[in-house]
Amino acid sequence: MFRRPAFSQEEQYSLPACLYQRYAVKLFSYVCRHVSTREDAEDLLLEVFLALLEHEHTLAARSEDEQRAWLWTVARNKVIDFHKRLARRQQTNPFQQASEVVDDERNTPEAVLLQKEDYHHLHSFVQSLPAKQQEVLQLHFGCGLNCVEIAAVVRKREGAVRTMLSRTLNRLRTMYRNRGTN
């Protein structure tokens, strides 16, 4: 688990420290899901908060929602930049690495196999979605952002995000129901 360092009382009241306290764990979780190593995730989180320090004065004049949206946008952009750098070096794409379902001793081998099969189907269905729909799902379910926050991160209207999320979930339900008929 990612641990926040302790701050002195003076540091707790600075804008970067407050934003770090509020959002570092969720941002770290988001970044971890998009990079292959914990060290890369820590480096990207550091880059996000270094950018915050560089823009502290302009962010101080913004509302809390605008500050949060700015942080998520920067984190998203840092992840995108990271993958662009990887592509230039012609390395493998970490998004292709699927995580394994943890075997629970209480489950029978058959139940574990069925659970893995269901996970594989769902993973392949999500991977078949357009990148923007995948990102909206990740931000909503993986990071716990609501539609207003997602709209600020992906730079779309809230209504467009709600519609996209609803249609994406309906599409996944249909794909999942029809998985045995193909």
Whole-model pTM? Answer: 0.50
Average predicted confidence (pLDDT) for the chain: 80
pLDDT at 117: 81
- Given pLDDT bands bounded at 50, 70 and 90, which one contains residue 99? very low
Tokens of 99: 């995580």
- Given pLDDT bands bounded at 50, 70 and 90, which one contains residue 93? very low
pLDDT at 10: 44
Provide, rounded to the nearest whole percent, the portion of the chain with pLDDT above 90: 32
Tokens of 67: 């500050």
CB within 8 Å of 53: residues ≥ 6 apart: 16
Q: What is the pLDDT of residues 4-16, one digit of tens each?
A: 455 444 444 688 8
pLDDT at 14: 85
Sequence spans of domains, the chain: 9-88, 101-177
- At position 6, the amino acid (one-letter code) is A
Tokens of 109: 């081998």
| CATH number assigned to the domain with residue range 9-88, chosen from the 4 options 1.10.1740, 1.10.10, 2.60.120, 1.20.1260 | 1.10.1740
Closest Cα partner for 149 from 82, 71, 83, 92? 71
Packing angle of the helix pair 109-127, 158-177 (nearest 10 deg): 130
Tokens of 148: 């207003």
The CATH class that applies to domain 101-177 reads mainly alpha
pLDDT at 13: 64
Q: What is the pLDDT of residues 157-173, one digit of tens each?
A: 999 999 999 999 999 88
State the residue for tokens 């930049």: 81
The length of the chain is: 182
- Output the CA torsion sign for 82, 85, 89, 92: positive
* Averaged pLDDT, 83-96: 61
